[in-house]
Amino acid sequence: MILISIKEEGNMPGFRERTQQHRRQLIEVLTNYFTIMSEKGKMMANVIAPGKTETDASAHIPETKQMKQALVNMTPLGRIAQPEDVGNVISFFAGEASGFVTGSYTPVNGGMLME
């Protein structure tokens, strides 16, 4: 069994610290719990944390060009994530290549919130 948790990072500086930290900790605790409580070798649990991602669902959000450019400027990779960026990470964790990876927290935010 594979458990992949996906949570969205805050999109603006300071937002994450105020609203996301407790949820992030909860997801990490649950992921660790599933990892520890599962039968050895039967279940892997990992957290995937996408940052700002351009999707059909986010297309209705009224962002000015300046706000979008500010997000791009804050991202070391110089762009906002596409669904494929997140999907590639999900595919990795769902596939055999991650067979020895469990209990990880993987931000997919282009380096915006490097810790």
**Strand pairing partners for 11?**
none
Q: What is the DSSP letter of 50?
A: E
Mean pLDDT per 10-residue section of the chain, whose length is 115 residues:
52 45 72 72 81 82 82 93 94 91 89 78
20-39 pLDDT tens trace: 556 677 777 777 777 777 66
Q: Which CATH architecture has domain 2-108?
A: 3-Layer(aba) Sandwich (3.40)
Residue of 61, 48, 52 lying closest to 88 (CA atoms): 48
Residue of 106, 114, 115 lying closest to 50 (CA atoms): 106
